[in-house]
Amino acid sequence: MYDHTSSTPPRWIPPSRWLNMRLRRVFTFLKIALPLVFFICYAVWYLYEPHGHIDLVFYEREWIQREMLPLSPLGGCFDPERVSPLYNVSETVHGRKRFEVQAGVTMRMGMDCYDFAGTVKFAEGEWNEEQRYIPPEQRAQFHTYWRVDLASLGERQEYMLKSFFATQDLPRSRLILWSNGDLSFNPIVRKYLELFPDSFALQVVDIPELAKGTPMENHRFLNLEDEKAWLDGDLVRLLVIWTYGGAWIDMDMLLTRDLSPLLEHEFVTQWDCYDKIYQALNGALMHFHKHSPYLCEAFHLMAHSTPPRSPSTDWGAILYLRLWRRLLSESIPPFKILPFCFSDPLACRLDNSVPEPFEPDRRDAKWTGRRGAGLEEGGALDRALGKIFAVHLHNRWDRAFPKGGWVDRLLLKRHEEEIGRRVRIDGEL
């Protein structure tokens, strides 16, 4: 605290006063600097639209080197002599399709993704409405799964069942509700078994039995510890689709329209509109034919990889991506990837996602426009829901849909009414 420039002896300044002087100088600086920074930020924000998405995930380098980058050979499931006679490669893998389900870009602008979903639609009169009876096991099969040990099947789960029976083409469809315990005494389940006996069935999962005849038969990985049930769910969906063929629908989805136009393709979905490098694909909605060689290759890859971590998406998102890359490297046309909004319209930015389903409706610029219209019947949100196929709710089982909110008005109430209508028509026949 010496003043070298002055000849007067050093003067002692009490620490409190010294601090005071310092603080005053800092305040003066802030008084000028803060408004300046604020003004510059505001001007930049006003003139330019910032873009970017912060999503930092750390992947172990060692894991990337070991699991993600190498392309081990496929298991030969597409060799003509190994393809099941039940599966027609020239039709399913190489055949012409009625609809295009991949857009080629991520469709992050406005409502592009929803509008693209709207192109996957049969023209008036194109869909054959012939009312011939089809035996349940020959119909389009849909599968879903409920772990009875995690929670009991109640009202929230019933909404998914209702959405299925209200939106799907029931004379040509059957939903199989899989579980790891008996559900036949559950009153909700019984109600739908009685209402739709040919379009609904229950099954108990027997993993070792389902795995028979696949590269996972008797595999030691079938007995892994898995507390969060992530691996279990990922394995079960592949095994039941392999055995029965059909589409998988996670229990935390609400269907918004008939899935029939999608079923000419074999597909998984895009995880979200950001295309995370290793976490790009999702199996919450997926479709493969019975004994599909794609699934056979998935089992081969599982059987010859390091054990999956629990919990992880090693048998889900990660597996689909590793398989997809191997298919490309052997020049096999890969399965399709449906854009995020087809089934997961909550998985993009605030300005092009559907409104939060568990909160009361708010004025929402993208749906309501300037005239306050948009969330009502026939409004922008209603039309968008009619173009996409499902709303994935990402579990959140403890949350309820607000009474009179958009989910209640545009989906749940209508499903209820439509089921009533369908049951009446059925009764008259």
Ligand X SMILES: *[C@@H]1O[C@H](CO)[C@@H](O)[C@H](O)[C@H]1NC(C)=O
Q: How far is CA 155 from CA 82, 151, 328, 405, 416, in A?
A: 45, 12, 43, 17, 13
Q: Which is nearer to ligand X, 128 or 131 (CB)?
A: 128
Site stretch for ligand X (CB under 6 A), options 23-31, 74-82, 85-93, 343-351: 85-93
Q: Does residue 86 bind ligand X (CB under 6 A)?
A: no
Site stretch for ligand X (CB under 6 A), options 19-27, 89-97, 276-284, 389-397: 89-97
Q: Smallest distance, Å, CB 375 to ligand X?
A: 44
Q: Smallest distance, Å, CB 190 to ligand X?
A: 39
Return the H-helix or E-strand segment holding 295.
helix 293-303
Q: Does residue 97 bind ligand X (CB under 6 A)?
A: no
Interatomic CA distance for residues 20 and 127, integer angstroms = 82
Q: Smallest distance, Å, CB 84 to ligand X?
A: 11
Triad 263, 266, 267: Cα angle to 5°: 105
Spatial neighbors of 68 by CB under 8 A, at least 6 apart, are 59, 278, 318, 321, 322
Q: Quick check: 349 and 273 in contact, CB under 8 A? A: yes
Residue 282 has φ and ψ, to the nearest 5°, of: -135, 145
Site stretch for ligand X (CB under 6 A), options 88-96, 135-143, 313-321, 382-390: 88-96
Site stretch for ligand X (CB under 6 A), options 83-91, 163-171, 394-402, 417-425: 83-91
Q: Please select the residue that binds ligand X; options are 88, 119, 306, 329, rule is CB under 6 A.
A: 88
Site stretch for ligand X (CB under 6 A), options 86-94, 112-120, 238-246, 356-364: 86-94
Number of residues interacting with ligand X: please give it, by CB under 6 A: 4
Q: Quick check: 198 and 231 in contact, CB under 8 A? A: no
Q: How far is CA 21 from CA 16, 17, 27, in A?
A: 9, 6, 10
Q: Please select the residue that binds ligand X; options are 5, 7, 16, 90, rule is CB under 6 A.
A: 90
Q: Does residue 91 bind ligand X (CB under 6 A)?
A: yes
Q: Smallest distance, Å, CB 92 to ligand X?
A: 8
Q: Smallest distance, Å, CB 264 to ligand X?
A: 11
Which 3-state string (H, E, C) describes 102-149? CCCCCCCCCCHHHHHHCCCCCCCCCCCCCCCCCCHHHCEEEEEEECCC
Q: Which is nearer to ligand X, 4 or 94 (CB)?
A: 94
Spatial neighbors of 153 by CB under 8 A, at least 6 apart, are 146, 183, 186, 188, 189
Q: Which residues bind ligand X (CB under 6 A)?
A: 88, 90-91, 95
